[in-house]
């Protein structure tokens, strides 16, 4: 009799409630997950660095899958431009703290799990402390200093780093920091100097791309927790969304790696801004040029003054909105300067007034004297003169 009464308690079913068994039934009926796997998921502690584009599918899928303890690190607030890809958030979340909006969404998706939020930037001072209570760190950040920080903190604390990054139409994913496997510095010992990173020159990302790459990270995280399949250890997955092509490259552990090599030179967290050359960068001189405010320009146009408006943005921006200017992108200005009449009064504008300040400075050097920069660009025009002009 004694043996019989002991049996139910010994069964792993005790670790999941009746509600959980129903919720996770499509996992439980797969032999690759089953009760054992679902309990592993429930016991897992995963820290997401960033709740943005990559963090959205990560948070949603890991919460839905029943990862028992999710940590979310983000310092940012939701804005309208996030909604094109950060599908955790809804329009009503604009202006809210991302970690709060994400916690609410994920808790609604799965109230069975624990969610801890850290409304902070990840820094060298707090990273090791934050990582301590988690088993797996998932890098969903958007900048080099934090990526190196996440990597080094993972290596130093012996945590696995599920990595994903994106650029416009292209993504990369892999698993760093697995015992015996490579780390981020094995792949890229140093970051690009600020400015040379092409991502500085071209913004934008196709909204679905972080969805795909973040989902790959979520899948790898779950495989690591379950101990099933072949994780992306020592393999760099490249994804080109335009070609719709996945490729895989070999990733080796570098024996001379400064963090995870046999004679590491980085043994504690460093200043990652400095490492990435950011703090030492000299600020470019501010261009001082004659300015005109949108209201002044409007008044002059209303008076019928002969003012020539020069729009120095790119053609695809002109398609978004325009205020009747003559389009010469800043980069084309030197060879198209002959399209301009230096005897006329010219007001140059761009989106925010920065490129057009460069254009005004250039044209003044070229001998133009009656030229002004539209202060605040088309954004200020929208705010001060014509709210029908969309902002972007």
Partner 1 sequence: MAVKVMIPTPLRSYAGKRDHVEVAAKTVGEALSSLIAEHGDLRRHLYQDDGRLRSFVNVYVNDDDIRYLQKEATPLHDGDTVSIVPSIAGGTNPCHSGPGEEPAFCVKDGEKRIPRANPALGIKDAVER
Catalytic residue among 183, 186, 276, 350: 350
In contact, 102 and 116? CB cutoff 8 Å: no
User: By C-beta, is 161 or 165 nearer to partner 1?
Assistant: 165
| Ordered DSSP codes for 270-315 | --HHHHTT-TTPPPPPPP---EE-HHHHHHHHHTT--EEEEE-S-H
Residue 151 binds partner 1, judged by CB under 8 A? no
Q: Please pick, from the candidates 200, 267, 290, 305, the single residue that binds partner 1 as defined by CB under 8 A.
A: 200
φ and ψ of 174, to 5 deg: -165, 175
Query: What does DSSP say about strands 245-250 and 345-349: parallel, antiparallel, or unpaired?
Result: unpaired
- Residues 107-135 as b or e (16 or more Cβ within 10 Å = b): eeebebbebbbbeeebebeebbebbeebb
In contact, 317 and 387? CB cutoff 8 Å: no
Crossing angle (nearest 10°) for helices 208-226 and 55-65: 40
User: By C-beta, is 68 or 164 nearer to partner 1?
Assistant: 164
Which residue, 23, 24, 15, 27, is CA-closest to 228? 27
User: By C-beta, is 28 or 149 nearer to partner 1?
Assistant: 149
DSSP letter, residue 97: B
User: By C-beta, is 104 or 314 nearer to partner 1?
Assistant: 314
What is the footprint of partner 1 within residues 252-311 (CB under 8 A)? Answer: 252, 271-273, 278-279, 281-284
User: By C-beta, is 109 or 199 nearer to partner 1?
Assistant: 199
DSSP letter, residue 315: H
What is the footprint of partner 1 within residues 44-103 (CB under 8 A)? Answer: 52-54, 76, 81
Assigned token pair, 249: 């490259």
Q: Which residues pair with 73 in a beta bridge?
A: 49, 118
What is the footprint of partner 1 within residues 341-360 (CB under 8 A)? Answer: 350-352, 354-355, 358
Q: Please pick, from the candidates 24, 131, 144, 381, the single residue that binds partner 1 as defined by CB under 8 A.
A: 144
User: By C-beta, is 23 or 185 nearer to partner 1?
Assistant: 185
Compute the least distance from the CB of residue 79 to partner 1, in Å.
8
Compute the least distance from the CB of residue 168 to partner 1, in Å.
5
* Residue 257 is a catalytic residue: no
From residue 309 to residue 338, the character string flagging contacts with partner 1 as x (rule: CB under 8 A) and all else as - is -----x-xx------------xx-------
From residue 6 to residue 45, the character string flagging contacts with partner 1 as x (rule: CB under 8 A) and all else as - is ----------------------------------------
User: By C-beta, is 121 or 336 nearer to partner 1?
Assistant: 121
| Ordered DSSP codes for 155-222 | HHHT-EEEEEEEEBTEEEEEEE--TTS--HHHH-SSPPPTTTSHHHH---B-THHHHHHHHHHHHHHH
What is the footprint of partner 1 within residues 101-120 (CB under 8 A)? Answer: none
Compute the least distance from the CB of residue 311 to partner 1, in Å.
13
Q: Please pick, from the candidates 31, 179, 203, 367, the single residue that binds partner 1 as defined by CB under 8 A.
A: 203
If you count them, how many residues does the chain have? 392
Q: Please pick, from the candidates 100, 119, 142, 296, the single residue that binds partner 1 as defined by CB under 8 A.
A: 142
Compute the least distance from the CB of residue 151 to partner 1, in Å.
11
Question: What span, in angstroms and rounded, lies between the C-alpha atoms of 191 and 43?
Answer: 35
SS3 of residue 107 by DSSP: helix
Using CB under 8 A as the binding criterion, the count of chain residues that bind partner 1 stands at: 76
* Residue 183 is a catalytic residue: no
Q: Provide, for the chain, the percentages of residues in helix, strand and coil under a 3-state DSSP scheme, each rounded to the nearest 5.
A: 40, 20, 45
In contact, 59 and 215? CB cutoff 8 Å: no
Q: Please pick, from the candidates 30, 32, 129, 243, the single residue that binds partner 1 as defined by CB under 8 A.
A: 243
Compute the least distance from the CB of residue 338 to partner 1, in Å.
21
Q: Please pick, from the candidates 242, 265, 268, 343, the single residue that binds partner 1 as defined by CB under 8 A.
A: 242
Active-site residue list: 200, 350
């Amino acid at each position: 009799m004694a043996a019989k009464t002991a049996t139910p308690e010994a069964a792993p079913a005790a670790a999941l409630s009746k509600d959980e068994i129903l919720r996770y039934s499509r996992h439980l009926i797969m032999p690759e997950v089953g009760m054992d796997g679902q309990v592993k998921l429930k016991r897992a502690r995963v820290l997401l660095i960033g709740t943005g584009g990559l963090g959205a599918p990560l948070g949603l899928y890991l919460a839905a899958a029943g990862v028992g303890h999710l940590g979310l690190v983000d310092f940012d607030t939701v804005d309208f431009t996030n909604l094109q890809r950060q599908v955790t958030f809804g329009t009503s979340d604009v202006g809210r703290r991302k970690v709060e909006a994400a916690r609410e969404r994920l808790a609604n998706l799965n109230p069975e799990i624990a969610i801890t939020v850290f409304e902070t930037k990840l820094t060298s001072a707090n990273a090791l402390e934050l990582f301590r209570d988690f088993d797996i760190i998932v890098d969903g950040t958007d900048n080099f200093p934090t990526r190196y920080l996440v990597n080094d903190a993972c290596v130093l604390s012996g945590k696995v780093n599920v990595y994903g990054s994106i650029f416009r139409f292209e993504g990369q994913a892999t698993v760093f920091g697995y015992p015996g496997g490579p780390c981020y510095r094995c792949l890229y010992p140093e970051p690009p100097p600020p400015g040379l990173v092409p991502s500085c020159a071209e913004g934008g990302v196709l909204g679905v791309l972080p969805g795909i790459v973040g989902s790959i990270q979520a899948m790898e995280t779950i495989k690591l927790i379950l101990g099933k399949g072949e994780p992306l250890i020592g393999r760099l997955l490249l994804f080109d969304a335009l070609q719709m092509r996945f490729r895989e490259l070999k990733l080796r552990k570098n024996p001379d790696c400064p963090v995870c090599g046999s004679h590491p030179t980085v043994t504690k967290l460093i200043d990652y801004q400095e490492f990435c050359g950011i703090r030492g960068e000299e600020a470019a001189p501010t261009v001082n040029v004659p300015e005109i405010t949108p209201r002044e320009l409007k008044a002059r146009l209303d008076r019928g003054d002969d003012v020539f408006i020069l729009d120095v943005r790119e053609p695809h921006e002109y398609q978004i909105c325009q205020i009747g200017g003559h389009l010469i992108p800043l980069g084309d200005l030197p060879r198209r300067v002959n399209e301009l009449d230096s005897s006329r009064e010219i007001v140059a504008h761009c989106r925010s007034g920065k490129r057009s300040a460069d254009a005004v400075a250039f044209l003044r050097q070229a001998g133009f004297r009656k030229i002004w920069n539209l202060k605040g660009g088309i954004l200020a025009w929208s705010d001060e003169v014509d709210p029908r002009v969309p902002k972007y």
